């Protein structure tokens, strides 16, 4: 069928357009391994191209088994082929101004399932990407929704350029073997030197490998051929995988031991928030927060500051809620100067304005640039600490339009383009509060892909999963999906032991025995680090080893002379030195 991609008549202030400008087809889900519908769409383009809607289904699944689908919309450079379902990018465009465009599946029962959305513009193509978890089978239609924005009352044309649907693939983590996917091996040549013996390491990495990925190294010891034993032990991972903590840790030794034995990164769940540090106006109290900072420092635990301000009116100190704009501005200035100055240089991050895609307490009272101004102030007070937005439902819920990744990017760009903010060390915080339902991992991945186009580090900042029979399984899926994404540079969970009041995702019972979710976390902590290893140098005096980024103790033992040489080594993803020499006295 052909069509110009016009949106059909408005329904309730919205316009709906099927995938080709008319009802162009449906396909059975999940049925055969492949089901596809081809049709032509002029797309207001000089030539007419073939567009293919394809669903790739795991043949092992039954007809009614739920499955994940990644929806990708992309320009077609050639016709769809069965061998190349994901190679084509896809785009949308409107004929005037800016419009929010969403894509839905409509089931035979009439249910509309949102899959993703984008801000489409006049004069350029916008990339639309998303995903769904489809717990139905049978025919479904693809619909585009144009949500009226500045063009209310105008007839909006929506042009599409390509469409592909494919089965969500949990790789690279589903087979549990990340080594094969991340290892890059390079041989190191040996150059004889006497009387000095060298241990040579040479690290290489594949483009796109992230800090938490595995980095190969070649370790060579001259004059040690075939006899030296090289022991390698990782002392700390460079990928931040941490856990929230609360005030119970100040006095509970068992909680302290439980936490310090597992985690090196944390966020205080409430203790740095304004309503905790200044319950009454003018009476600041940092006693608990300071004690928690001391505990963290004593145990080598890095802290994310959470938070300077919270844009939700519900979570202001009671005395703040009804302040006049002038009084609020004065009180907020004292707050940010107090808390940021107090902990300057002691934190790795600050959540500056919490949840301001959903709420606007400060903007409503102080003007639309309130958040941008507080980012500027925080940067001036603590320029070396990375500053984050922190939002929920950006990766968890594709139905929450306010927090979709495009709105997140737009808001962050507004903040960073504010005069004087261009040099801010910025980051992207996505909370990750998942319900007890099957997580939409396809949408999570698509959202992270979109956010990663900023080039800024992404952190999952408050991960938990609602109570349910599959909680541990779903928690593991979410954590693996986040960890394996190249844009994600840290994960903090808001989980913990029952004795500390963590009742959404509990890792340990009142006796500190693991729950199933606790077993998952301990398993991943162990998995995401290099295991201690001892390798004998080969006949060329070299070994090859794959290592996660992090800190290592390396010991070289010569069994003939019984001599030992110890070395501390830090393997980082951006190390460009290539070759490192350790000199060992003969």
Cα separation of 431 and 429, whole Å? 6
Other CB atoms closer than 10 Å to residue 176's CB: what's the count? 8
DSSP, residue by residue, 205-260: --TT--TTSEEEEEEEETT-TTT-EEEEEEEEESS-EEEEE-GGGGT-HHHHHHHH
Running DSSP on this structure, what letter comes out for residue 144? E
Running DSSP on this structure, what letter comes out for residue 263? -
Asked about 355 being catalytic, the answer comes back as yes
In sequence order, what are the residues at sequence separation of 6 or more whose Cβ sits closer than 8 angstroms to the Cβ of residue 54? 34, 35, 36, 80, 82, 85, 164, 165, 166
Cα separation of 276 and 402, whole Å? 28
In sequence order, what are the residues at sequence separation of 6 or more whose Cβ sits closer than 8 angstroms to the Cβ of residue 540? 190, 220, 225
Dig out the tokens for 218 from the structure: 């070649």
Residue of 141, 145, 278, 355 marked catalytic: 355
CA 87 distance to own-chain centroid: 23
Question: Strands (DSSP E) along 149-192, which ranges?
Answer: 158-161, 164-167
Asked about 462 being catalytic, the answer comes back as yes
Closest CA to 94 of 169, 147, 22: 147
566-569: long-range pairs with CB below 8 Å, 24+: 567/199, 569/201
Strand-strand pairing, 302-310 and 265-268? parallel
413-420: long-range pairs with CB below 8 Å, 24+: 414/372, 415/371, 415/372, 415/375, 415/389, 416/375, 418/369, 418/372, 418/373, 418/375, 418/376, 420/376
Residue of 211, 271, 396, 462 marked catalytic: 462
Cα separation of 387 and 370, whole Å? 15
Residues designated catalytic: 355, 462
């Amino acid at each position: 069928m052909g069509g110009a991609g016009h949106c059909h008549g408005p329904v309730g202030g919205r316009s709906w357009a099927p995938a080709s400008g008319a009802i162009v087809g449906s396909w059975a889900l999940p049925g055969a391994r492949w089901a596809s519908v081809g049709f032509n769409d002029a797309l207001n383009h000089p030539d007419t191209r073939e567009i293919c809607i394809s669903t790739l289904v795991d043949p092992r699944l039954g007809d009614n088994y739920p499955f994940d689908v990644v929806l990708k919309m992309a320009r077609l450079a050639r016709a769809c082929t069965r061998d190349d379902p994901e190679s084509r990018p896809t785009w949308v465009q409107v004929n005037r101004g800016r419009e929010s465009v969403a894509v839905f599946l409509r089931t035979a029962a009439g249910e509309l399932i949102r899959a993703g959305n984008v801000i489409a513009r006049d004069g350029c193509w916008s990339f639309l990407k998303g995903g769904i978890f489809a717990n139905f089978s049978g025919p479904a239609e693809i619909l585009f929704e144009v949500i009226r924005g500045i063009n209310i009352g105008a007839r909006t044309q929506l042009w599409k350029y390509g469409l592909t649907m494919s089965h969500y693939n949990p790789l690279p983590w589903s087979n549990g073997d990340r080594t094969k996917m991340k290892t890059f091996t390079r041989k190191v040549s040996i150059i004889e030197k006497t009387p000095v013996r060298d241990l040579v390491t040479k690290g290489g990495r594949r483009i796109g490998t992230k800090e938490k990925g595995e980095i190969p190294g070649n370790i060579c010891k001259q004059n040690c051929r075939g006899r030296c034993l090289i022991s390698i032990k990782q002392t700390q991972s460079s990928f931040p995988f941490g856990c929230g903590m609360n005030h119970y840790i100040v006095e509970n030794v068992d909680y302290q031991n439980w936490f310090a034995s597992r985690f090196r990164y944390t966020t205080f769940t409430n203790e740095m928030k304004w309503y905790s540090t200044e319950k009454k106006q003018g009476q600041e109290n940092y006693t608990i927060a300071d004690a928690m900072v001391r505990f963290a420092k004593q145990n080598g635990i890095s802290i994310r500051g959470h938070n300077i301000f919270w844009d939700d009116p519900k979570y202001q100190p009671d005395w703040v809620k009804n302040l006049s704009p002038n009084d609020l501005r004065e009180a907020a200035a004292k707050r940010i100067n107090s808390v940021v100055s107090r902990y300057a240089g002691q934190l790795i991050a600050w959540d500056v304005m919490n949840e301001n895609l959903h709420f606007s307490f400060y903007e409503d009272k102080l003007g639309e640039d309130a958040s941008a101004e507080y980012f500027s102030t925080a940067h001036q007070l603590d320029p070396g600490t990375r500053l984050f937005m922190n939002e929920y439902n950006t990766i968890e819920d594709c139905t929450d339009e306010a927090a979709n990744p495009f709105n997140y990017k737009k808001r962050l760009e507004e903040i960073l383009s504010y005069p004087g903010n261009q040099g801010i060390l910025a980051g992207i915080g996505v909370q990750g509060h998942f319900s007890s339902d099957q997580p939409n991992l396809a949408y999570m991945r698509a959202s992270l892909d979109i956010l990663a186009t900023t080039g800024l580090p992404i952190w999952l900042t408050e991960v938990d999963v609602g109570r349910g029979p599959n909680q541990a399984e779903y928690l593991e899926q979410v954590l693996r999906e986040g960890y394996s994404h190249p844009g994600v540079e840290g994960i903090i969970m808001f989980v913990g032991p029952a004795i500390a009041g963590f009742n959404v995702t509990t890792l340990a019972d009142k006796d500190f025995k693991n729950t199933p979710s606790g077993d998952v976390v301990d398993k991943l902590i162990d998995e995401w680090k290099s295991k201690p290893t001892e390798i004998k140098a080969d006949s060329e005096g070299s070994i090859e080893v794959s290592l996660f980024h992090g800190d290592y103790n390396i010991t070289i033992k010569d069994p003939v002379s019984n001599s030992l040489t110890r070395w501390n080594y830090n393997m980082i993803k951006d190390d460009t030195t290539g070759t490192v020499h350790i000199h060992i006295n003969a």
